[in-house]
A and B are shown apart, each in its own frame.
Chain A
Amino acid sequence: MRLTDHPILGRPDRGRVVTFNFDGGEMSGFEGEPIAAALRAAGVAVHRYTKKHRAPRGVFCAIGRCTDCVMVVDGRPNVRTCVTPLAEGMCVKTQYGAGGGELGSSAAPEAADGRATDEKV
């Protein structure tokens, strides 16, 4: 999935290789790239399951607006992985519902300004 060369953009300038943990397994990516990019490169598509319908969600806007890509990162739920840089040793987990946050708390991703897709499923 990674682009190693490109007819217009040439070879990418990447950070150093770092390892991180995804749902208990070890993975690697480039320091500073969005967590979602490292996951995409590793073939991970599902970032979270919604609270009510347990429907899977993945990257949708890639610019931090829709909250579909949120995961539990280093124990913190609702982290938008498409705009959060990857760092050595991060612990990234698929988020289920509000991700351990209090139910109905304002931290629930569905409350954010975005696509709020839960109502639609």
Chain B
Amino acid sequence: MKRYDLIVVGAGPAGLSAAAEAAAHGLGVAVFDENSRPGGQLFKQIHKFFGSKEHKAKIRGYDIGAGLLREAEGLGVKVYLNSPVTGMYLDREIVAETDGAVSHYRADAIVVATGASENMVAFDGWTLPGVMGAGAAQTMMNINRVRPGSRVLMLGSGNVGLVVGYQLLQAGCELAAVVDAAPRVGGYGVHAAKLARCGVPFFLSHTIVKAEGETRVTGVVIGRVDETWNIVPGTQKHFDADTICVAAGLSPSTRLLLMAGCEMYEPVPGGGRLPVCDEFTGKTSVQGIYAAGDVSGIEEASSAMIEGRAAGAAAAAELGYISGGELKARLDKLETALASLREGMFAPKNRGKVFVKTDEGYDISDSLLRNGYLADGEATKYPGVKSVAGIHPVIECTQNIPCNPCQDACPKGCIKVGTNIVSLPAVDEKAGCIGCGMCVASCSGQAVFLVNEDVGGGFATVTAPYEFLPVPQKGERGVALDRSGAPVCEAEIVDVRTSPSFDRTFLLTFRVPGEQCSRARFWRREVRRFGRD
């Protein structure tokens, strides 16, 4: 039987990080993954990540994945692909199937980093072809490069629903609506705002009544739910759609931990079981077995990577490759990085809580939570939005999320988040913005705009991030859309910028009548009639 110092199950961000960390301390490491490609969720994630530099913020998921894989392989980690691990036993033995052949492997320590699987919601017609998990849609469009459908309805307004919804638009699909039974948008407001300004309607306190179609989805009926989650009669709405994506949360894939006899607990009764483990290193009740990433509790890739590192370091110490002192020094550093991510209103400890004010005491926009966008006039209440002469940043980031690339990006110090990365970004109007656009391109939430309120002749310019094809050309005329996606005025593109440092985000500058510069936030090519809807 082949043996390694450490076996890692799952080659996602947690698993690859654990492997790289342990290998760097000298352990012989093998990683097993059931997929034909490593990376777990990371290779499907094409958006720029949140967090700060130490969390690889503003780098796109697939680039983070490629970097991790290079690091692990460079350190001699053996990666077994197409190799589902089907069994795991007390004596740290695993059974993996490669090409139908079953092999046994043994290790002195095992890190289980098997991630999570998508939850499903049962509604009338939920098994019809065309109903799929949001993750499935993401795999199809970003890995297989085929559109999952032409017109999609998204159920779920958490970050997964919002991010996948935006990716559907980027792949050229139409997004009919984002629907969620909860009364408030569950994910980051900045992700919701990206969809809303493209014209995607949000239906909170709504759920799917049924999927229509005989052999495949042809439409969807939604309805409003009351406080007891029943459909309110007379509130039903029909949408044409050929695809329904369900983003109803994730459940940790704990099967192997159970098989190995790890102690489990149920944090919320009926809410699924989690391994009892060290919150940080993931050490379980069974000696030598660690759990890292989503399998130990659903969080994010950013935290999964740190948990993986901590588990890798703890395993190295357990096997005597590093001393207790070295482990402590390493963990202290990692813990600081993890703690900064676990702050703010979206932190795991705050799940389910409703915030009406930010940490700084600003009101949270009700419109943002219910419709996905800040209402007209609301933006100026926040510290990132100031009216100044000349070009200046306008930052519509209004919740305490762990993120600060905007601050790091500015060469002039115009943007201050401070040391606590969940603080709202504030604009320092005296710092002298030079209009370089780095803040716009670096913002993971696409929440930074540049505005020049007076470029002469009664006009203003607005610069917005743009990640769609075809890229507009200078001189093109179209319409400016407000935060809800409604057309507000004609707008001519006066500049289109791109640069390797913008990492595929284009910066569109369009000219609008001066009085529209606080409303115009997106640009659309077709000149449609406006003022009517």
Contacts and interface: CB of A to CB of B under 8 A. Distances in A.
Contacts of B216: 45-46, 56, 58
A73 to B, nearest CB: 15
A8 B60 contact: yes
Contact of B215 (A2, A45, A115): A45
Contacts of A55: 127
Interface string B34-51: 111000000000100000
Nearest to A58: B129
Contacts, number: 106
B136 A56 contact: no
B127 A45 contact: no
Contact of A34 (B120, B144, B150): B144
Contact of A7 (B117, B128, B135, B469): B469
Interface in B405-426: none
A61 B132 contact: yes
Contact of A37 (B46, B127, B140, B171): B140
Contacts of B118: 61
A111 B36 CA distance: 24
B170 A6 contact: yes
A6 B142 CA distance: 9
A37 B170 contact: no
Interface in B130-157: 130-133, 135-137, 139-142, 144-148, 150
Interface stretch (A16-24, A62-70, A99-107): A62-70
A51 interface: no
Contacts of A121: 127
Interface string B230-258: 00000000000000000000000001000
A8 B129 contact: no
A77 to B, nearest CB: 16
Contacts of A6: 145, 170-171, 469
A56 to B, nearest CB: 5
Contact of B46 (A9, A34, A59, A85): A9
B172 A120 contact: no
A58 B287 CA distance: 42
A66 to B, nearest CB: 9
A62 B467 contact: no
A7 B145 contact: no
Contacts of A2: 145-147
Contact of B117 (A3, A59, A65): A65
A37 B139 CA distance: 10
Contacts of A9: 46, 142, 145
B147 A3 contact: yes
A12 interface: yes
Interface string A86-121: 000000000000000000000000000101010011
Contacts of B504: 7-8
A40 B141 CA distance: 11
Nearest to A33: B144
Interface residues of A, number: 38
Contacts of B229: none
A107 to B, nearest CB: 13
A34 B130 CA distance: 17
Given A9-B142, A46-B215, A58 B135 contact: no
A68 B150 CA distance: 21
Contact of A120 (B60, B122, B171, B215): B122
A85 B82 CA distance: 12
A89 to B, nearest CB: 21
Contacts of B530: none
B257 to A, nearest CB: 15
A7 B468 contact: yes
Nearest to A29: B146
Contact of A62 (B135, B215, B469): B135
Interface in A40-55: 40-41, 45-47, 55
A41 B117 CA distance: 25
A60 B131 contact: yes
A55 B471 CA distance: 43
A30 to B, nearest CB: 9
A63 B139 contact: yes
A2 B120 CA distance: 27
A62 B171 contact: no
A58 to B, nearest CB: 3
Nearest to B144: A37
Nearest to B147: A1
Given A1-B147, A3-B147, A7-B467, A56 B128 contact: yes
Nearest to B47: A8
Interface string B5-34: 000000000000000000000000000001
Contact of B130 (A58, A113, A117): A58
Contact of A1 (B146, B468, B471): B146
A37 B146 contact: yes
Given A56-B128, A59-B129, A61-B117, 18 more contacts: A2-B145, A2-B146, A3-B171, A6-B171, A7-B468, A8-B170, A8-B467, A9-B46, A9-B142, A14-B145, A33-B144, A34-B144, A36-B144, A45-B129, A45-B216, A58-B216, A61-B118, A120-B127
The 9 closest A-B CB pairs, nearest first, are A58-B129, A62-B136, A37-B144, A45-B216, A45-B129, A12-B145, A62-B139, A117-B127, A8-B46
Interface of B: 34-36, 46, 60, 117-118, 120, 122, 126-133, 135-137, 139-142, 144-148, 150, 170-172, 215-216, 255, 467-469, 471, 504
